Amino acid sequence: MRAATVGDALAAARQRFFARGESPESLVPEVILKSWQRCARLGLDAGSRPRGEPLSAGSLRIARERSAALARLCRPELESLAGDARSTDSIVILTDAEGLVLDSAGSDAFVPQAARVALRPGVSWQESCAGTNAIGTALAERRAVAVRGAEHFFEPHRGISCFCVPILDTRGTTLGALDLSGHASIAHTHALGMVQLAVDQIEHRAFDQLPAGLEVLRLQSDAALLGTAREGVLVFADRKLAGANRHGLALLGRDWTAIGGTDFAQLFDCDAADLEGLARITLRDGRNLHLRGESRRSSPRRAFGPTSRSSAVVPCEAATAPWTDVRLERALDSATAMLDADLGTLLEGETGVGKEVFARQMHARSRWSAGPFVAINCAALPASLIESELFGYESGAFTGARREGTRGLLRRANDGVLLLDEIGDMPLELQSRLLRVLQEREVAALGGGTPERLRFGLISSTHRPLRALVERGEFRADLYYRLAHHAVQLPPLRSRGNLREIAATLWNRLPGPACAPLPEEMLAALARASWPGNFRELTNVLRVLRVHARRDEALSLGMLPHDLESTAARVDAETAAPPEARLGDVAERCMRSALRECDGNYSQAARRLGISRSTLYRRVGAGCRDA
């Protein structure tokens, strides 16, 4: 909708609501209309100036002391958002649970306009005081709210736009709110998303302060989001749900009323005692989620399972994948020899092919096997915390830091193996510092401290065409050559000649009670599919089938996903084509697919296919970047 059209609709809505007392349902968002109605019932006059008397200096000091823990928790995000706010002449604001502004930071240019509407520390922005506004309305609705220009109740506020998200504790109690406010004339397209992400990070960090004696589950439908602020977090005390975050409740299909009265068995199709070592968990409705569990019976906390994992680690999807392929065994032996020789190994392959499984096998067979295996998902580390997560920090390194500091993930890998997972997604600005650490094998924590010498075997992995990223200037060439002394291309599942055996083995190794073997027609269909999601997709399908089997249902092809059935049908159709046509078509499709995956890089595509570059040119021609 054009800006003029939006403005006309909003003007018509105000005229209808404030002048004629009618309800303009279709002209303003529902959350705005509900707030206008609440404010009208309070007897507020939209044409008057809002009541915005600030607290005295002494009263504000007391209010800040009362919310000191909240301010410490939010300080990293407040400072990070302030940097973004300066670029759009905006300010970021922290309030308490009553809407009292505690602190603000950002653009000095916007401060005069903010002061004209009393948007400053010591002033309450509850709806009862300030009418419809992002802070007061977000606290009233307990959800993210954007209030733009004339959507505000009071006329003097129409020159600003505000974006606010309430901050909730682990039991759903409102602690305060984080807001970004700026000129109404600026679109602020991503403002609400930025504030929501900041609040997600604040609420996620709050779980680090839980007392001992609790069980914490971290889960997600997307494994790549485990360890990030978007993972679901559930807290159990004596097998009852004692806390959660919004993402965790959303995954369960529950709301905050579930806290305190919901048993573990009501949520999951397994016993809590069986969590040790699990990488997946099944909900009562049959959905499967990726899992990372930890215990807070003592401090520091320990993770479930034999291997301690970092907070940014993604659990392995194919941890039970059978390694019976001769080519993979040879590649594994060679890669392990490189690891023993202190040479960096780069694992390349599509998402879900088992790169972390391969890396763990390297660790287990190498001279580093007695040490830790630390996997760092470079794509999952929050951008605002990436340096402190990797390198650690000293006590008092920044406001909001833990009193005792932290060692950082790199130092945890000392005397073991470090896996830099999804290295292709690491920001350029961090790559230079990582390169220095890898060259010098020495790291110092943020905030000073004595540099510590490190010894570890180095493995990297990526699903992205790293050499193509180097050629485009999106990845440092010097870092690439430091990581890729030796490269291993892990084949996609569809190219494995033993797919039937893999499916049968994975079926037998799924957690839980044993089930009857898969029917032959089911194994045949699974072996024919192309599996674009590789082991991850295959394991998901098998887990769904296991739920049917546990319900004593006869397994049938109709239980397979529709897209999987169509893939199998397509493969059947191709096998019916004349062999000479089929082989040529398949070869060309593979070549074009490799070119797409390598972003048009003929040399890398040729290496991946095991053919010469000239053959690739001859078969598909030049200029096929978008083939």
Q: What is the pLDDT of residue 573?
A: 42
- Whether the CB-CB separation of 551 and 513 falls below 8 Å is answered with no
* Percent of the chain topping pLDDT 90: 28
Distance of CA 293 to the CA centre of its chain: 17
Q: How far is CA 325 from the centre of its chain?
A: 33
**Which is more confident, 197 or 496?**
197
Residues 6+ apart with CB under 8 A from 257: none
The region of weakest confidence among 330-339, 364-373, 444-453, 520-529 is 444-453
Per-residue pLDDT tens digits for 15-53: 999 888 888 878 899 999 999 999 999 999 998 888 778
Q: Is the pLDDT of residue 176 over 80?
A: yes
Position 317 scores a pLDDT of 37
Q: Rounded CA gap, 281 and 452, in Å? A: 39
**326-489 homologous superfamily:** P-loop containing nucleotide triphosphate hydrolases (3.40.50.300)
* DSSP SS3 for 456: strand
Query: Domain map of the chain by residue range?
Result: 57-206, 210-303, 326-489, 493-575, 579-620
Q: Note the pLDDT tens digit of each residue in 236-289.
A: 888 899 999 999 999 999 999 999 889 998 998 877 666 655 678 888 888 888
Confidence band (pLDDT; 50, 70, 90) for 608? Answer: low
The alpha carbon dihedral of 408, 409, 410, 416 has a sign of positive
Write down the CATH number for the domain with range 493-575: 1.10.8.60
> What does the pLDDT average to over 435-456?
72
The CATH architecture that domain 579-620 belongs to is Orthogonal Bundle (1.10)
Q: Dump the DSSP string for 225-244.
A: GTTSTTSEEEEEETTEEEEE
Contacts of 311 (CB under 8 A, 6+ apart): 227, 389
Name the residue with higher pLDDT: 556 or 144. 144
Asked if residue 147 has pLDDT above 70, the reply is: yes
Distance CA 458, CA 475 (A): 18
Name the one residue in this structure whose structure tokens are 């909240």.
Answer: 70
43 CB neighbour count, 10 Å cutoff:
7
Residue 424 DSSP SS3: helix
Strand 442-443 with 280-282, pairing: unpaired
Place domain 57-206 in its CATH homologous superfamily: GAF domain (3.30.450.40)
Q: 71 vs 66, 108, 252, 455, CA distance in Å?
A: 10, 21, 30, 38
Higher pLDDT, 129 or 590: 129
